Amino acid sequence: MMAASIEEPLTIDYKGETLMLSQNTNISIAVPSATIRDALEAYREQYPQDLSGVPTLADHLASRMPTGEGIGWDILNPAS
Q: What mean pLDDT is predicted for residues 24-40?
A: 83
Could you state, in order of their start, the residue ranges of all structural domains in the chain? 2-48
Q: Is the pTM of this model over 0.85?
A: no
- Give the residues across from 17 on adjacent strands: 14
pLDDT at 46: 96
End-to-end CA distance of the chain: 57
pLDDT at 44: 93
Per 3-state DSSP, the chain is made up of helix, strand and coil in percentages (nearest 5) of 30, 30, 40
DSSP string over 45-71? HHS----TTSPPHHHHHHHHS--STT-
Per-residue model confidence as pLDDT tens digits over 33-61: 899 899 999 999 999 999 899 999 989 88
Per-residue confidence band for 4, with pLDDT thresholds at 50, 70 and 90: low
